[in-house]
Each structure stands twice: as structure tokens, then as C-alpha cells.
Amino acid sequence: MWDVMMAAMMLPSLIPTLQRYRQAVNATGGMPLERLTVLVGMGYFFVWTLFGMLVFPLGVTLTAAEMQWPALARIVPMMAGVIVLMAGTLQFTPWKIRHLARCREALRHARMLPAQSSSAWRQGMCLGLHCCLSCTNLTAIQLVIGVMDLRAMVFVTLAITAERVAPASKLVAQAIGVIAMGTGLFLIA
């Protein structure tokens, strides 16, 4: 479920990066460009799968605790608001801007990358790591609002895509932060 959701959510922002990869690869004397591009995508989604494997036990533990302790279940909606508020606040930090820049700039300034499977896999994993770190707070919003909530999926997908492809990514990230902080305050209230 996680992999299907991540593929649907991340492809809009990954496709431009894969196009830049195709332009940066020296396609002479190596693997076909299509296979290399698939390997980059597989490396990228492999990192997201590992991220999901880390998050899943946390969700299961929290759900089990909510079922055992009614008092905890009553404060979960407020805790969700606090997490959304914190996620919005993170949009303004140098940490977020740095990882967003690394995610956006991946392969942009590459000269010629070798047409090798190991290089393609490494590029995909490196891109996946920076993008996972860049999207951690937005992914947290989706996790607390509802992983399968279509509205949350659409918001997070649009936010991730906009901050990666829009020319003024820092301003877009901050606008998303304002929206998330407002949503967090609303949920707390």
C-alpha cells in the first residue's frame, strides 16, 4: 500500500529529475538509457520503501496504544494538530531549505554521468534520501491526517511537486508552511 501511494504521490515531482538524468548520462558504450532511468527510479523508491518500513511499526504501536488507553485516544486529535503545526514550522528552517535544494538540484549540474547500472542505482538512492529528508514533515502531515485520506494525499502531492518544480521554491515552501500551520492551529482548536 505504501509503495503504491508513494509512487502516485512522488512521480509528478520525480519525472523532471529523471528527464535531467537522461540528459546527463553519457549513453555511449553502456546500458540502454531506458534501463538506467528505471534503475534511478527503483533506487529512489527503494529509499522511500525503507522509510515506510521505519514508519509502519510506529503507526502500529500508536494504534495499539490508542485502543488500550482511552485517554490517549481522546488527545490524539490534538496531538495531530500539534504535529501538523510543527510540520508547517519546519518549512521555514534552513534544514528544510537545504534538503529541498539538494532534492531540486539533483543532477542539474551534472556533466556526464557514466552509463552504468551501479551509478544509476546510487543516483536514485541519493536522490531518494534527499527527497525523503525534504518531505519528512509533509509526509508526517499525511500520516497524522490519514494515509489513505484522498484530500491529504492531494494536498501533500501538490505541495511536494510545487516546492520541487516552482521557480521560487523557498517562497512556495514558506506558503505551504503557512497553510500547514493554520491547519495545525485549526485542528488543535
Q: Flag whether pLDDT at 113 surpasses 80.
A: no
pLDDT digits (tens, 9 = 90+) for 103-112: 777 655 555 6
Q: Flag whether pLDDT at 50 surpasses 90.
A: yes
Q: Which of 93-97, 117-121, 129-133 has the lowest mean pLDDT?
A: 117-121
pLDDT digits (tens, 9 = 90+) for 59-93: 788 888 888 888 887 888 899 999 999 999 999 99
Q: Which of 21-35, 112-126, 172-186 has the lowest mean pLDDT?
A: 21-35
Q: What is the pTM of this model?
A: 0.81
Average pLDDT, integer, range 23-31: 66
Q: Flag whether pLDDT at 115 surpasses 80.
A: no
Q: Flag whether pLDDT at 27 surpasses 60.
A: no
Cell digits of residue 149: 485520506
69 neighbors 134 (Cβ within 8 angstroms): no
User: What does the pLDDT read at residue 39?
Assistant: 92
